[in-house]
Structure 1
């Protein structure tokens, strides 16, 4: 009888969970988890105060002052994006979507479902969107009233030039809507530096809360004009905003534990130094990850200049002994969960840099990756034959 080599003990978080090397949901701090252990009534003043604190804090992150307000929405980030599109683009409007991945395509699908007129500028998943193309498109089609762009396209991890896009949209007098789901809280998007009318994000990405709440930060002067725009009852930003401002209550049952945990997560974000501090930690995670993977022979999809420090896409090795499912399963047994690829331009997989972790955890993950590759007998990690 042959004995199997025993597996190493998994490297787990302080709460005994695997490390989520994903774009979200992601690893949260123990204190964020503990914040969910208490029950609150939705009409309890303690909860009302927490809810208002969260709304004010989110506006502060974009330096929105009195010009912007936070409209929270139950559900995932896509709920917030759909609420933003349906509420802010009227039936008489036309949206131009800048697309270089699945999340830009999702906005197009929302427009199709809602019967909103739209057009799109499409790019390969490894290419940023173009502000000069946007300028030409807006000159060619005066019917366009709104522009939508993805801040960091999670499909590839690419960073889009939102400041340049915003400048062009403003020059043409168009309303800009930003999906900043994978970047908000880690990459700058101050309303003082970038002109936009709304930005959508969620609780469970770079702010390191738990899933369950999306939100849209909207220019008040724009939101005031949106009554009756939304074809949805539950995703009507204007109606939700009016109700919360008038009564301090959500229209429908709020995700209370999620909001209370989010409040704690925002406090930790502020203590870390806000966007600069959180983004700096992620950037260092990304640097160590990319350097380590390249030493093992892997190639990144994106050049460093286009790579956001959120999630990194790696080409799958050409080595026939590399099997992604086995690679994934063996890393999971060691305490690390990664992400499959979502590209049409390349066979790939993704590793996230965000969540409550630092370079120590990234280095241990790299050690686990090397060990798994050795066990699999993989010798060539490049996407081309040696």
Structure 2
């Protein structure tokens, strides 16, 4: 049984087979037997590397239904592809942006599918954290021959060590690395790496995962000789989750035709479809793309990459100074200057329990992230998304309050 609740009092509505109709306005159906859902409470603030807090105006932009073959939506896709290249600082004459449905990992896997040749391809993965390790896992699942060169989780990928490896073994057809390793916060020297890679093995494909850095950490794709770069809309560009994208050198992408081991994750095929018809091959994330248009507008209003970096750096400065006063120790040393996410070691106080700490902050509407490094007990606090300095003052006050509730001595020693 359904009760039809109209948003227009003067026009009658009809219930038929569980559907409410109203000729000039919308209606809501309320099931008399369904579970009654409570109204949402205060919006939580996400101090995480994603999903991120986004503005209300970005969310509101998604509240439209648009057909995937609609002329307006085709124009939207074209607009977003062009804007991504502008943000990357590259020319449409030499680069292209290829959006793919799904999370950032979908785009990462799409590059491995597309850019590693089936017959002779061999990948070198440079890893210093969980997301580099994930690249290795992708190669393993796809049965791509690969080698992982590992570096400590609290250090950057060492350019000289990579050079020595490539001089000893120049057989790799792809080299892949993460720009900002969000398991720790390390920013890797991807431009310097690219220059060395192309000097030593010029015919290789250089792939950079810039998932949590693109849009806020300056990155020169041309100077770094980057062939493929991927990111997601729900990171520094502050869209809502739903799709990711690869920015690729067009000539390099076209050379990859026929490589893909997947239909859905074939970037060449996706590119061909977008170029010929302006349409996705399969159902696109229409609402997310509409929201992303608004996110791009707000990104530009804030001053682009440099404007967004300025706010994120200020967020990080407030967090860093406040946590230091409370006695929390960072996982990374002072030589690291990233401002996307910060890992903090667990206090040695016997009363500290991360699950309790997390839950108490969550109850206050403040969401942090558990750690992801392997050699230390840590938790993480992100400084990106629709967060501002006052939000970090609020978080720090809440952390101090929670520590006192847990009988943790402050400052922590």
Query: Once the 2 structures are TM-superposed, how far is the Cα of residue 222 of structure 1 from its aligned partner?
Result: 0.4
Corresponding residue of 1:11: none
Match of 1:240 in 2: 270
Contact 2:343 2:380 in 1 (8 A): yes
Residue 370 of structure 1, CA deviation: 0.4
Residue number in structure 2 paired with 1:198: 228
Q: Does 1:370 align with 2:400?
A: yes
- The answer to whether the Cα contact below 8 Å between 1:288 and 1:363 also exists between their aligned partners in 2 is yes
Rg comparison, structure with higher value: 2
Aligned to 1:175: 205
Larger mean Cα displacement after TM superposition, 302-311 or 286-295:
302-311
Q: Secondary structure at the match of 2:62?
A: helix
Distance 1:150-1:381 versus aligned 2 partners, 3 A rule: farther
Stretches of structure 2 that go unaligned for 5 or more consecutive residues are 1-40
Q: Equivalents in 2 of 1:347, 1:120: separation in Å?
A: 24
Offset of 1:333 from its aligned partner? 1.3
Counterpart check, 1:87 vs 2:137: no
Deviation sequence 1:316-367 (CA, Å, 0-9, x none): 0010111111111111111100000111110010011011111111011100
CA drift at 1:300: 0.3
- After TM superposition, the structure 1 stretch with the greater mean CA deviation from structure 2, 217-226 or 299-308, is 299-308
Partner of 1:49: 75
Q: In the aligned structure 2, how far is the partner of 1:379 from the partner of 1:193?
A: 49
The count of residues paired between Structure 1 and Structure 2 equals 369
Deviation (angstroms), 1:381: 6.1
For 1:317, the equivalent position in structure 2 comes to 347
Are 1:58 and 2:88 counterparts? no
Quote how far apart the aligned CAs of 1:192 are. 3.6
1:134 equivalenced with 2:134 (yes/no): no
Q: CA deviation at 1:262?
A: 1.0
**How far apart, CA to CA, are the structure 1 residues paired with 2:232 and 2:205?**
21
Tell me if 1:40 matches 2:70.
no
SS of aligned partner of 2:263: coil
Contact 2:54 2:385 in 1 (8 A): yes
In the alignment, what sits opposite 1:7? Answer: none
User: Would you identify which runs of 4 or more consecutive aligned residues in structure 1 move more than 4 Å?
Assistant: none
Q: Could you tell me the TM-score, scaled by structure 1's length?
A: 0.94
Secondary structure (helix, strand or coil) at the match of 1:37 reads coil
Q: Distance in 2 between matches of 1:279 and 1:193?
A: 20
What aligned pairs does 1:353-364 form with structure 2 within 5 A after superposition? 353-364=383-394
Question: d(CA) in 1 for partners of 2:337 and 2:307?
Answer: 18
Q: How much is the aligned-residue C-alpha RMSD, in angstroms?
A: 1.2
Flag structure 1 segments of 5+ consecutive residues without an equivalent.
Answer: 1-14
- Do the aligned partners of 1:317 and 1:380 also contact (CA within 8 Å) in 2? no
TM-score after normalising by structure 2 = 0.88
Distance 2:298 2:42 in 1: 21
Indicate the structure whose relative CO is greater, using CA pairs within 8 Å and at least 6 residues apart.
Answer: 1
CA distance in 2, matches of 1:317, 1:205: 29
Secondary structure in structure 2 of the residue aligned to 1:305: coil
Residue 70 of structure 1 is aligned with which of 90, 93, 97? 97
